[in-house]
Amino acid sequence: MAHRSQREFNAMNVRSDLAATVVVAILLSAAGISFAADAPKPPRAARSVHLGYPAPKAVLFYNEMVVEESVNGSYFMAAGWNTGYFGVQQLGSPTNKVVLFSVWDPTKGDNANAVKLEDRVELLHEGEGVRIRRFGGEGTGGQCMAPFAWKIGETNRFLVRGEVQDQKTAYTAWVWRNDKKDWLKLATFRTRTGGLPLSGLHSFVEDFRRDTKSATERRRARFGNGWVQNVAGEWSALSKARFTASDAEWEAKETIDAGRVDDGFFLATGGETKTTTALRSTLALPDSPLRTKPVLNLGELATPSVVIGGAKLTLDSPLDYQVIQRDAKNRGSIAIAGKLSEAAGKSAVIEARIVSGAKSSDWQRLKAELAGADFRAAMEAPAGGWYRLEVRASSGDKMFASSSVAHVGIGEVFVVAGQSNSANHGEEKLQPQTGRVAAFDGKSWRLANDPQPGASGGGGSFLPPLGDALATRFDVPVGFIACGIGATSVREWLPKGATFQNPPTIESRVRRLPSGEWESKGEAFEMFAARMKQAGARGFRAVLWHQGESDANQRDATRTLSGKLYREYLERVIRQSRREIGWEPPWFVAQVSYHVPGDESSPDIRAAQASLWKDGIALEGPDSDALKGDLRERGGQGVHFSGKGLRAHAARWSDKITPWLEQQLKERP
């Protein structure tokens, strides 16, 4: 019964029947006709109250909500927009609670059965344990409901994604499960919107029981830490909200309120609620460190699939936000793999196309290898993205199932390895500003917001600004496969069984032999090689190596590695890793040996690193030892980089990679 509140918010119009009543009253009065006034009827329901959030058009809408007071027949809607809404309800008892996600048809009228099939909301994905149905009565559309045992006083988190697909928009809803510590993907609905992203963002509290007693009962919820992300990947906080309410004559008009509380907003209605904030007031939150951007990994969540007539197509590859290395012809091969349900049959024809904004390629019939329910194929596409990949299965002239991946890029991929300054140990977490930089942790791809997946540490890295610089210069998506491990010596990166005389300062990845020698356990090397293999042959442009601090100038001099041995060991890592993966990717090796002021370089280690460039084994990376002072953490006293230093580090990497890559692209056939 939440559709009325949504409509009230979207169009605060004076009702025509009220205008007609006024006209009739005037005419009767003029004619001298009068009636005894009826006793006023008690209100049937608490008044619906809303918060409207001024915000840019968005692809992601994230909001948090805490229900503070509830009774049966209550809807607490956390994430609404112009064509749908998403929140939690308490139905007929305190234990009967659900999460509800609904999207409207692009038509008028209240009869769900009267809507033409081509005008109805499409179901692209149905989560486990949900109930999907069509609704009518107050508009029509598609609705997803699932049991959800939310609790009074507990923070609930909601996320909606709006993906424009030509003249339609696909809306996906996730809700955070506090007990399981994961996101539950409820459904993906698609409806005709004219190609509009998320807009008209709002929240509301509604009484849908409407039995007179419900007007005397109070409902209250807090809303806070709301954020939206635009198409460029930039996040904006929802720090303002406009207070409005519905205008039905049978609602309790006076018992409503809204305001600021605990770095958020609240809405209250019914019972003994007293109004402290005037309707149509705009509430504004002060700046606060409590509002933090959500850290989301949508690549881990299942790809939408369309189910038609019982058949189903699901995609395992490519992954959302995956970047595929372009080849010498400025193209890339998209590996497409998935499953067809048994209802699809073995004679299915698999087709695919890429969509970029309002433009799309022609459908291409794939040479698919079918093995039972599984299929594999490949499709070539030009460098660029993000693309939406659409795949469909047909038999004869009838399409029976389809699926899509929202973000696929063909561009530049780099593997990053070394120790802490190659990983996530910087003083400030950074985020890409272009929206075209992604990262892979061995399982899933996601936007490359710090900390980078797959590398050690929970802080910042140089990869977001480096990715932005390369994406801007070459106009393609950029992907990183980060493998760095803090405090590691080159000795720990050697293959399993490689021996040496003196151990590194930290011995967790090495072991002492009965002979007195030490050997590498090979754990870092095996992880590193496995991650490179996952990218495939020539699946990345180059390795970026930044390591050396844990071999230079150790406090215990017996743990320090000579430049001669450093060169020998790193060359072995390079050559052995190339043999392991079956091809020879270029390596960039940085000059790295800085510790703290007063211990700012090791000429021996720096010379060893430079010797690899001079002998053609590696390419020249940046000199990060030159980054000192306020470019280092703790006011220049630490070994890791400050936020300013991370950006400077990225710029130095870009200065080395960009001219080399420009030359590579010039030399292509």
Helix, strand, coil percentages (3-state) for the chain, rounded to 5, are: 20, 40, 40
Residue 662 CA to residue 669 CA, distance in Å, equals 14
pLDDT in tens, 101-113: 999 999 999 998 8
- Residue that is last in its domain, among 225, 251, 284: 284
Q: Which phi and psi angles does 656 have, rounded to 5°?
A: -85, -40
254: left (phi over 0), alpha (psi -120 to 50) or beta: alpha
**What is the pLDDT confidence band of residue 298, given thresholds at 50, 70 and 90?**
low
Please determine, for residue 19, whether its predicted confidence score (pLDDT) is greater than 50: no
Residues paired with 337 in a beta bridge: 317, 376
C-alpha R_g of the chain: 30
* Confidence (pLDDT) at 291: 60
* Confidence (pLDDT) at 16: 35
Is 296 within the bounds of a domain? no
The per-residue DSSP string of 567-635 comes to: HHHHHHHHHHHHHHHTS---EEEEE----BTTB---HHHHHHHHHHHHTTSSEEEEEGGG--GGGBHHH
Helices 603-614 and 563-581: angle between axes, nearest 10 degrees: 40
- What CA–CA distances, in Å, run from 370 to 232, 344, 349, 634? 38, 12, 10, 58
* Confidence (pLDDT) at 38: 61
Residue 354 and residue 491 in one domain? no
pLDDT in tens, 378-423: 999 999 999 989 998 887 767 777 888 889 999 999 999 999 999 9
Which residue has better confidence, 182 or 52?
52
Which residue has better confidence, 444 or 29?
444
Residue 64 and residue 157 in one domain? yes
Is 297 within the bounds of a domain? no
Is 62 within the bounds of a domain? yes
- Region 513-538 average pLDDT: 97
State which residues form the domain around 342: 304-409
- Residue that is last in its domain, among 342, 375, 409: 409
Is 598 within the bounds of a domain? yes
Residue 609 CA to residue 549 CA, distance in Å, equals 12
Element (H, E) at 190: strand 182-192
Residue 209 CA to residue 506 CA, distance in Å, equals 65
Is 551 within the bounds of a domain? yes
Is 72 within the bounds of a domain? yes
User: For the domain that residue 511 is a member of, what is the CATH number?
Assistant: 3.40.50.1110
- Residue that is last in its domain, among 385, 409, 433: 409
Q: Give the pair of three-digit tokens for residue 557.
A: 């001099």
* Confidence (pLDDT) at 302: 41
Question: Considering only 10-24, 125-139, 433-447, which range has the smallest mean pLDDT?
Answer: 10-24
Residue 568 CA to residue 83 CA, distance in Å, equals 63
Residue 231 CA to residue 494 CA, distance in Å, equals 42
* Confidence (pLDDT) at 227: 93
**What is the pLDDT confidence band of residue 188, given thresholds at 50, 70 and 90?**
very high
Name the 3-class secondary structure at 656: helix
Residue 342 and residue 477 in one domain? no
pLDDT in tens, 594-638: 999 999 999 999 999 999 999 999 999 999 999 999 999 999 999
Residue 382 and residue 490 in one domain? no
Provide the mean pLDDT of the chain: 89
Residue 386 and residue 521 in one domain? no
Residue 513 and residue 467 in one domain? yes
* pTM for this model (two decimals): 0.62
Please determine, for residue 343, whether its predicted confidence score (pLDDT) is greater than 80: no
Is 36 within the bounds of a domain? yes
Residue 44 and residue 29 in one domain? yes
- Region 356-378 average pLDDT: 87
| Angle of CA points 470, 471, 472, to nearest 5° | 90
**What is the pLDDT confidence band of residue 272, given thresholds at 50, 70 and 90?**
very high
- Region 497-502 average pLDDT: 97
Asked if 273 and 255 count as a contact pair (C-beta separation under 8 A), the reply is: yes
Q: Give the pair of three-digit tokens for residue 256.
A: 């409503």
Residue 240 and residue 310 in one domain? no
**What is the pLDDT confidence band of residue 1, given thresholds at 50, 70 and 90?**
very low
Residue 194 and residue 310 in one domain? no
Residue 579 and residue 522 in one domain? yes
Number of domains forming the structure of the chain: 3
Residue 404 and residue 415 in one domain? no
Is 658 within the bounds of a domain? yes
Residue 276 and residue 313 in one domain? no
User: Which residues lie below 8 Å from residue 116, measured CB to CB, with a gap of 6+?
Assistant: none
